[in-house]
Amino acid sequence: MLYKILLSLNLNLRKLILISTILSVSCLFVISLFILNYVVKQQLIQNSLSINEKYAAKIAMGVNRDVSNMLQELQYSAQQLGQNFYNTPLRQAEVKRLKNQSNNFNSIFMVGQQNQILAYAPVSLDLKFHTPYNTAGIVGSLKSKKAYISAPYWSSKKNLVVLISQPIYDVNQNYKGFISGTIYLQKNNLISEMLFNQFDFKKSYMYVIDQQNRIIFHPDSSRIGEKIVNNTGLDYINENKKGSVRLTNSLGIDNLAGFAHVPSVNWIVVSQQPTDELLKQANELILKVSIGIFIFYLFIFFIVWRMSLFISSPLNRLAKMASMLNRNDIQDKISQVDPWYFEVFKFRASLLLSSKTFNNKISELRQHINIDPLTGLYNRRGMQYLLDELISTGTHFAVLAIDIDFFKKINDSYGHDRGDEVLKRLAFLMQKNFRSHDLCCRTGGEEFIVLMMTSDIRVAFNAAERLRTSMQASQIEGVEEITISVGIAFCPSDSVSVKQVFKMADNKLYEAKNNGRNCVRMTQKLAK
């Protein structure tokens, strides 16, 4: 049915080439777009995860360094106050100095054992001296009696703060209270400036959460103090010190996040980028590349369109001449057609030659082939002549590289006469085991080549195995068991370069020898 439909369309070779090209190029273009879309997006996602992880680690290191510096500043002040704890002017001078020294803290205050404020800065706080304050930070510091960093809490002045404190011990190591600095989470501070001024990568943003998953810093100040819920990556972030993860945040937005823990305070710095923003950039890149690919395919189609005329022209001429074989000059006209590819060559030959002339051609070919006098096989020159014929006709074939195992040992142990008998025995078995149209050659010494007219790997393997077992089973008087190793490669399925195919067959031969000899190795695996 299909044959009749195609015949009714009156398609010539050129039209068929063009139609095939259009279909092939279209399929290739669609597949290319699919692969490009997948590869580019996956690569961008991996790059984004890696970049966000590195930046989060960098910022976490900076935050850890700053917090450590803050603790050291407070520790120094605690030591000074401990030496003269009841010196009221010293208390106020020290908290003022500490506040103005580095501007790391939004406020500084000194607290006694009874929760009372002993000194503070800045004065705008307007705190009451000797009045107990029971905020979470004060209570936690007094209870700890050591270096302390609080979770976020609301201060008595209605500021969302994190308190960092150092205990004060007098010269007799009696606990007297603590000195602390606060960071106002909803106002400008050292850490927020570092977070939001150092990082800007394709709409990425950073935030910090504490061990209770409460937001400490965020570009949206209204979210500071909020506890994160419904975040698909939160468990993974809490379980690992650093890394990257693709997650859906609490707002239901898909993000690519990198994170790192701050060891000194057990905070987590998260750097993340909305996936849609990244993929939007990927789509723009894919569009540009797709246009380039489309233009390239148009160029290919134009080349094929021109080549189709060149390819189909000789066949069209021969097809017209087939109806004029009764003309006296037809053979000259046919001979003028250039047989530059296989089909034209065969078509021309079928028009020019009878069966007798074809046989004469084969005989003439055989007369030019050199024969190895010892084995009766084709020698290297003869093999090359045949190989040129195979290449010119585009014939598919297998190259079997064969080598006699330990042949030098045979010559040394039994003499060259016995060695020659071994060579002749192998040649005999090769001619017996392979088909008449398979080309058996001796290329030198104990090295043999078979050019087998097949692309079927099982046919080639079975033939090689038959030869190997036959050689192993053969008996030559006075000589121990003789084995061979075989390497197989295929042209053009392994390579269009004949030289490369021979090299691959040699490599497989060496592989067979390295695997104990007396075996067959191929470039392709047999289907089970």
Strand partners, 217: 208
Closest alpha carbon to 483 in 412, 424, 417, 422: 422
Burial (Cβ within 10 Å: 0-12, 13-18, ≥19) of residue 380 = middle
Angstrom distance (rounded) from CA 153 to CA 188:
17
Helix axes 457-473, 416-433, angle to 10 degrees: 140
Active site residue 446: yes
Closest alpha carbon to 451 in 494, 509, 402: 402
Contact 315, 12 (CB under 8 A): no
Residue 62: DSSP 8-state:
H
Angstrom distance (rounded) from CA 387 to CA 366:
13
Does the bond joining 132 to the residue before it have cis omega, within 30 degrees of 0? no
Catalytic residue (choose from 446, 447, 465, 511): 446
Backbone φ, ψ for residue 216 (5° rounding): -100, -40
Neighbours of 439 (CB within 10 A): 22
SS3 212: coil
Burial (Cβ within 10 Å: 0-12, 13-18, ≥19) of residue 256 = buried
Share in percent of the chain as helix, strand, coil (round to 5): 50, 20, 30
By annotation, the residues acting in catalysis are 446
